[in-house]
Amino acid sequence: MFGEQKVSYSGVQPSGNLTIGNYLGALRNFSEYSQQYKTFYCVVDQHAITVRQVPAELRRRTYETLALYMACGLDPEKNTLYVQSMVREHASLAWILNCFTMFGELSRMTQFKDKSAKHADNINAGLFTYPVLMASDILLYQTDVVPVGIDQKQHVELCRDIAERFNQIYPDTFTVPTPVISKQGMKIMSLADPTKKMSKSDENVNAVVYILDDRDTIIRKFKRAVTDSGSEVRAADDKPGITNLMNIYSCFTGKSLEEIEREFAGVGYGEFKLAVGEATADALAPVQEEFRQRLADKAGLEAQMKRGAEEASYYARRTLSKVEKKLGFVQIR
C-alpha cells in the first residue's frame, strides 16, 4: 500500500491473440478495481520471451495489448497502464528475489512443468524463474490484491512466501499480496475439448474464440463446438460441452444457469449454439470497435507507454531503493 489507498496489480502477456477466457476471467473485470484501488496494469513483455519470439511480432502485440486494455474500459486517467520492459526496476528486483527463492519451490510450479513439456527444445532458466519475475512485478508496487486466473494462483502464493521470507529477515519491506479469482468466467473451456481450458496457444483455431474474431468467425466456431450426447440444454458434470457453452452464455448475458435452462427448454443444441455465438459477438463488437480506434493512434499509444512507465517507475523506485538499502547496497544520490 502507498499512502492510504490500497493497490491492485495485473499483467497480461503480449503473446498471441487474447481469448474470451482472458476477457471474461480478467480484462472485463479490471476497470472495477480502479474505483477502490490504486491500479497498475502492465503489458508483461519480459515474461513473453521465455518462449522464442519474432521481434517485430512482439512489438506489434505490445501495442495491441495496450490498445486492448483501453478498449476493455481501462481509463488511462484512472489506471497506470505501462509496458514492463520500460520499467527497469522489475528486472533489478527480480534478481534480488531470486536470492530469496528456493530451488525446490520453483521446481514444484505446475506451469514450469507444462511449458517444459510444450517447449522441450527450449527449457531455459527464465522459464524456471518466471514466477520470481512475477513476484517482482507484484511486490514493487506494494500490492494488496492481485486479480488472477486460477492457473496463476500458485504463482501468487509463491510471491506471498517470498515476501514473508524477506520480511522475516528485513521487517516491513513488502506488502504481502492476496490473490483474487473472479468467479464469473473463472475457467472457460476449449470448444473442441471441454475438459481442457481454452488456451490462446491451442493449435486448433476452432477450439478458441479470440476477442478480436469477427462476427461470422465467432458464430461459426460456436456452431462447431463439441457438445454431449442427448439434446437437452442442461448443466451437469456428465455434460461438459453444453455446460461450458452455458457458462459462456451466462457470462455474456448475465443470466443464471437455471434461467438458461428454462429459456432453451425443448430447444436443440444447434439453436442454443447459435444463440451463444450471437451473444458473444454482440458483447465483443463495441470492444473491437474501440480497439481499432485506439490501435490506429500509434502516437497516442506511445505517449501512454511513456507516461505510464514514468508513473510506474516513480513507485517502483521507492520500493527498490528501500530493498537495496536494507540489503546493504551502497546508495549515493
- Report the catalytic residues: 115, 197, 200
Query: d(Cα 253, Cα 283) in Å, to the nearest integer?
Result: 9
For residues 320 and 312, is the Cβ–Cβ distance under 8 A?
A: no
Residue 7's CB: how many other CB atoms inside 10 A?
Answer: 23
Residue whose grid cell is 486494455: 69
Q: How many residues does the chain have?
A: 333
The strand pair at 7-12 and 38-43 is best described as parallel
DSSP readout, 217-272? HHHHHHHT----SSS-----TT-HHHHHHHHHHHHHH---HHHHHHHTTT--HHHH
* Alpha carbon distances (Å) from 218 to 110, 206, 221: 31, 9, 5
Of the candidates 249, 189, 251, the one whose C-alpha atom is nearest the C-alpha of residue 24 is 251
